[in-house]
Amino acid sequence: MTDGRRSALRQPGGPFTGRRGGPRGRSAAAVALRLLRPGGVLIITIAAVSYIAAVDPNEQGHYPTCPFLALTGFQCPGCGSMRTIHALAHGHVQDAFALNVLTVAVIPALVFFWSRWALARAKDRPTRTKVAHPAFIWVFFGVILLFWLVRNLPFGSFLAA
């Protein structure tokens, strides 16, 4: 264009997008496009949980052994997570807590953050959160490291899978 304005077609994200790079508006098509990523994550999660619920991880040969466990003999923070998800999918909450309490504690947080993300995308709002504050991240990883350490010590055998 010769009048000094940028062409709408050359703007980042195209002519029909807002400043956040997604389709604007409240039409069903705009909302559906904004929900593609949260919907994709939901579909993949449902497929993975369904597979874990159908194929018992307690039986040998269905899933690979944890590489950290195979190499060191110690359990990583994720050891027992598939068995925990299998137990939860079958309604065995007490067994799930016994297998990996950290996974059981993190699942509600993941559901909460996914819900906030999907709702923000549906309403075309920013998805920033204060949880990404460095102090929270350090505490979160500190809890994971502490869980990892304690579950492999003799007095922490109650946390072992």
* Domains of the chain, residue spans: 1-27, 35-159
Q: Does 94 have pLDDT greater than 90?
A: yes
Q: Does 17 have pLDDT greater than 80?
A: no
pLDDT average, residue stretch 98-111:
94
Banded model confidence at residue 10, pLDDT cuts 50, 70, 90: very low
Neighbours of 5 (CB within 10 A): 7
Banded model confidence at residue 2, pLDDT cuts 50, 70, 90: low
pLDDT of residue 11: 45
The dihedral of CA 76, 80, 82, 88: what is its sign? negative
pLDDT tens readout for residues 107-141: 999 999 899 999 988 888 887 766 677 888 899 99
Whether pTM > 0.85 for this model: the answer is: no
39 or 14, greater pLDDT = 39
Q: Does 78 have pLDDT greater than 50?
A: yes
The Cα-based distances of 130 to 19, 61, 109, 134, 135 in angstroms read: 21, 42, 14, 9, 10
